[in-house]
Structure 1
C-alpha cells in the first residue's frame, strides 16, 4: 500500500512538471526557438481600427500632481488650470501667548527642479521641470480664501463612497471665494505678473554675530495678508477653531488658486505637487518673564486634505474639435488622426483583428492566425506622431495603452518589472515612450506580446478593445469617473487627467500613408 501510494505521487509530480514545462516553453518561445532549423521567422502586419473618443468633464480630486497656469497649445487650444485645496494644521491646539503680533505669512510650494551647478559661494543654478511656456512668461495669480466645503464622503450614497469633484467645477469654487485676494503684496511678481522663477531662494540670518545663509530650491513663494491670518488663525485659536483638523477644515475651508492672463502674454503652466506646500505664519508673543521678552513662534498650515484640479478649455483648435466630434468619428474604418489630450480632453479606442464575418465570436483574422499555429515572438503597436499637426506644441513623453473593457492594464504592463517608481521612465519594456531617434516626427511603440499570445493560445480569451491616452505617471493605472458617461466609456485613466499635454497621432485608416499608419506588428515562428 505504501509503495503504491508513493509511485502514484511520483507520477502526479512528473505530470505537473511536464505540463508546466510545456507552458513555460510556449511563453518563452522568442528566446528558445531562435536559430532552430525547424522554424522560419516572419513578420506579419495587422490593420488596426482606431478612432477618437471625447472624454469631457472628469473626476479630478486628490490627484498626485496638479497643473496651475495657462497653456496655449496650437494643436488643441488653451487650457486654464485653477486649483483648490483644504488646509491642515501641522499641530492642533497651538498655545498662543500674550500680545501675539504676526511678523509674516508665507505660502511656499516647491517646483520640480534639477540642480545644474554650484559656484564657489555655494549658490546653485537649477533647471525647472514640468513647466510649459517661456521662462519669463507672466500670468495673473490670485489666491483666495475658499468658501466651498469639500466633503470626504458623498451623502448621495449614504456616506459610503468618497465624494467626487470634477474638472468643470471652477465656477462653483470661483463663486464661493471669500474676500479679496490674499497674495496682495506690492511686488507684482507675486500676483499680477507672476512667473515660475528658477532662482533659488536665499535667506540670511545672524546667529551669535555670524551671518548664516539658508538656500532653498526653486518654488512658489508668496507673501499673504497678515491681517487676514491674524483674524482667522490667532482669532480662531481663541475661539477653539484650531482644536482639531475636522473643526479647522470646516472653519477655514481652504485656498482657491485662480489664474488669468497677464496682459497680452501667452502665459505658462506648471505641474506642481501641492501637498508639499505650506503656509507658515511667523509671529512674536510675550513671555511670562517680568521683562516681557518677545519670543518668535510659528504656526504651519499644510496644503493637504481634499484637493481638486479645475480645468477650462477655450480657443479650441478646429481640427481637434472636428476630429473628436461624435458625428465625425468613424468606428467602422477608424479615423485618420488620433487626438490624445490630457485633463478634460480626449483618447482613442483601438480594435484589433477586424470583423467577425461568420459570427462565431472570433474575428476572422484572429481565427486564421490560430489555425496557422503561429508562435508569437513579439508584438508591438507603433503610433507615429503627426508633426505637422502638432506644430510647436509640447509633446507628452509617454502614452499609456490599457484594456478598455475592464479598465485595467494589459498583461505586458503587469509583467514588466523594469525601473521602479520613476513617474516618467518606468515600464520601459512595455514602452509608450516618445522616440525621436532617426525621425523628425517621432513615434511611440508599445509592446503587447503577451496580450497577443494569450489571444492566440487560449480560445476563451476575449479580444478586448484597447484604450490609449497620454499619461503623467506610468505607475498610476487607476481610473477616474466621467461626469457623464458616453456609450463607449464611463471612466478614464487618472494619470491622463494629471497631464495637461496632448499629441496628434496617425490612425490606422487605409487612407493614411503606409509608412505613417498605425499598425500591429507581429513577429512569429511557424513549423515548416
Structure 2
C-alpha cells in the first residue's frame, strides 16, 4: 500500500510539472493579449461631430419595392407616393381566336403578409406587413394607362447608360396619363375608398360535382375596364402590336397609379413588390368558324418593365425643415438633433476624431476590442410615428460600406435582419429609450493601425434592405453629396436622433465608444 501511494505521488508531481511547463509556454504566446495584469481593459469615449444633410429629388427607378399611398408623419410631414410601371406580355404574339369576348380583367399585386392562424375550414387569418398609418384608413386610388414612354437607355449619354427617373417627376406622368381610370368598378373599395385589406381571397369552382377551393394571400385586386382591354389588347393582335415586347411597350406604355385623399378619411401607405403584380385577361372564343363551342382563354401581362417611385412632399414639419436647412446646419460642432428620412428625405453625416486625438491613440499602442456608435431616438421629436427597423452606416467619401459590413458573415432570413453583428437594428428593450447600435470595430482598427488610412466621413440613413448597398443619383448635386443609398430611397419612414453637441444630455449624446487594452 505504501509503495503504491509513493508512486502515485511521484506521478502526480510529474504531471503538475509537465502541465505547468505547457501552461507557461501557452501564456508566453498569449501574454501579448491578456494576463498577469500586463494589460488593463479600458473604455474610451470620443466626441463625434454629427450634422444633418437634406436629400433632394433622387433617382427612384427600378427599386426592389415601392411605396403607394399617403403617409402623414408628424415629425416630417406628408408623403404622397404614386407609381408608374411598364407592363410586358408573359407570352408574346398570342393567337386570338374567333369571336373573342372578355369576361374579366383583374389586376393583382400581393401584399407583404404573415399567416397568423388557420381555422377548421382551412381559411387563414393574415397580418399585413409594411403598412404605415391607421389600419382602417382609405385612399382614392386611380389606375390609368400611361402615355409616358420609359426608355431603357439615356440618349443624353449616347445610349451608354441606363435612363434615370426621379422622385419629383410625378407631374410628368400625371400630365401624360391617358383617358379615364381603368379601375372603374362600382365597388368603391377598388377606387374611391380603396384600402389595404388583410382578407384572404378565396374562390370556389365546381368540377364534376365537387367544389374546389382556391385560397390566395391578401393583395391588391382590382377589376379593370373590360371594354378598354378588348380594344387595347385583343383587337390589337391583328395589327402586330403584340408581336414582341419591344413593340408592345411602345404601343402600351404602362400604368400610372395615382393616389389622393379619400374624403375626410385618414390615409396610409404600403410597400409593395409591384414586379410580382400582373393583369389577367380572361376571355372566351369559338373553337372554329363552324363550331359554336366556346373555350376559355387568357392573356397575362406582367408588371416587370421599368418602374419609378413618384414622391410628393407636403405639410413639412417646421422643425424638420429648419434642421435640414443649409443655413442652420453646423458642420463644425454638429447639430443637436439628427433627422433621418427615407425617400426624398435626409441623412446624418458623422466625422470621427480630430487630428491630434487620432495621432495620440496611434502612438499609445491600443488593442481595440470593440468600437461602436449608439444612436438614441428622440422620442419627443419623433412623436407617434413608426420607428424604422434599421439604419445603415457607410463610407460617405466613397459611397460604399465600411469594412465591418463586409466582414460580417452573419445572415438573416430576409433583407431586414442580415448583418446582425454589424448592427443598426432597432433595440426596443426600453421602449422609452430606443437605440440603434452600429459596430465599427475594424474600421477603427484600420484607422489606428495604418497611419496612411483616410479618416473618411460616415453617412447614416434609414434602410429598407441591408443587403442592398448600391446608390441612387441625386437629380442635382448639392455640393455635399451626389449619391444616396438606394435602400433608403425605398423606405417611407424616418426617425430623429439626439446629436452630439454639448446641448444634448450626456446619456443621450451620440459618441464613439471604444473598448481597448493597453500595456502598462
Same fold (TM over 0.5): yes
Partner in structure 1 of residue 475 of structure 2: 483
Q: Which moved more, 1:261-270 or 1:445-454?
A: 261-270
Q: Which moved more, 1:29-38 or 1:515-524?
A: 29-38
Cα separation, 1, equivalents of 2:471 and 2:184 = 38
Partner in structure 1 of residue 510 of structure 2: 518
Cα separation, 2, equivalents of 1:292 and 1:491 = 62
1:416 to 382, 403, 408: 408
Cα separation, 2, equivalents of 1:282 and 1:379 = 60
Q: Say if 1:36 and 1:324 are closer, same or farther in 2 by CA, change over 3 A.
A: farther
2:490 to 482, 486, 498: 498
> Residues 383-436 of structure 1: CA distance to partner in whole angstroms, max 9, x if unpaired?
100000011001101000000000000100011011156111000000000112
Cα separation, 2, equivalents of 1:265 and 1:31 = 69
Paired residue secondary structure (2:178): coil
* CA positional deviation for 1:438: 3.0
Partner in structure 2 of residue 444 of structure 1: 436
* CA positional deviation for 1:346: 0.3
Q: Does 1:273 align with 2:273?
A: yes
Paired residue secondary structure (1:446): strand
Q: Does 1:429 align with 2:421?
A: yes
Q: TM-score, normalised by structure 1?
A: 0.92
Q: Does 1:383 align with 2:375?
A: yes
Cα separation, 2, equivalents of 1:210 and 1:523 = 69
Contact 1:30 1:377 in 2 (8 A): no
Displaced runs of 4+ in structure 1, greater than 4 A? 29-32
Contact 2:412 2:420 in 1 (8 A): no
Partner in structure 2 of residue 468 of structure 1: 460
Please tell me whether Structure 1 or Structure 2 has the larger radius of gyration of its CA atoms: 2
Cα separation, 2, equivalents of 1:30 and 1:328 = 52
> Residues 183-225 of structure 1: CA distance to partner in whole angstroms, max 9, x if unpaired?
0000000000000000000011111111111100000000000
> Residues 27-80 of structure 1: CA distance to partner in whole angstroms, max 9, x if unpaired?
xx9998355631100000000000000001000000000000000000000000
Contact 1:30 1:378 in 2 (8 A): no
Q: Say if 1:31 and 1:311 are closer, same or farther in 2 by CA, change over 3 A.
A: farther
Cα separation, 2, equivalents of 1:400 and 1:84 = 28
Partner in structure 2 of residue 4 of structure 1: none
Cα separation, 1, equivalents of 2:30 and 2:426 = 25
Paired residue secondary structure (1:297): strand
Partner in structure 1 of residue 4 of structure 2: none
Cα separation, 1, equivalents of 2:65 and 2:110 = 12
Q: Say if 1:119 and 1:35 are closer, same or farther in 2 by CA, change over 3 A.
A: farther
Cα separation, 1, equivalents of 2:183 and 2:64 = 25
Cα separation, 2, equivalents of 1:415 and 1:264 = 51
> Residues 490-527 of structure 1: CA distance to partner in whole angstroms, max 9, x if unpaired?
00000000000000000111111000000000000000
Cα separation, 1, equivalents of 2:92 and 2:31 = 60
Q: Say if 1:36 and 1:284 are closer, same or farther in 2 by CA, change over 3 A.
A: farther
Partner in structure 1 of residue 448 of structure 2: 456
Partner in structure 2 of residue 507 of structure 1: 499
Paired residue secondary structure (2:253): coil
> Residues 356-404 of structure 1: CA distance to partner in whole angstroms, max 9, x if unpaired?
xxxxxxx111001001111101000011000000110011010000000
Partner in structure 1 of residue 182 of structure 2: 182
Contact 1:421 1:475 in 2 (8 A): no
Cα separation, 1, equivalents of 2:267 and 2:93 = 41
Partner in structure 2 of residue 165 of structure 1: 165
Q: Does 1:93 align with 2:93?
A: yes
Partner in structure 2 of residue 297 of structure 1: 297
Partner in structure 1 of residue 352 of structure 2: 352
Cα separation, 1, equivalents of 2:35 and 2:61 = 53
Paired residue secondary structure (1:408): coil
Paired residue secondary structure (1:41): strand
Give unmatched runs, 5+ long, in structure 2: 1-28
> Residues 284-323 of structure 1: CA distance to partner in whole angstroms, max 9, x if unpaired?
0000274320000000000011000000000000100000
Partner in structure 2 of residue 137 of structure 1: 137
Paired residue secondary structure (1:33): coil
Q: Say if 1:103 and 1:322 are closer, same or farther in 2 by CA, change over 3 A.
A: same
The RMSD of aligned alpha carbons is 1.4
Q: TM-score, normalised by structure 2?
A: 0.93
Partner in structure 1 of residue 48 of structure 2: 48
Contact 1:71 1:266 in 2 (8 A): no
Cα separation, 2, equivalents of 1:521 and 1:35 = 24
Partner in structure 2 of residue 103 of structure 1: 103
Partner in structure 1 of residue 195 of structure 2: 195
Partner in structure 2 of residue 246 of structure 1: 246
Partner in structure 1 of residue 392 of structure 2: 400
* CA positional deviation for 1:175: 0.2
Partner in structure 2 of residue 308 of structure 1: 308
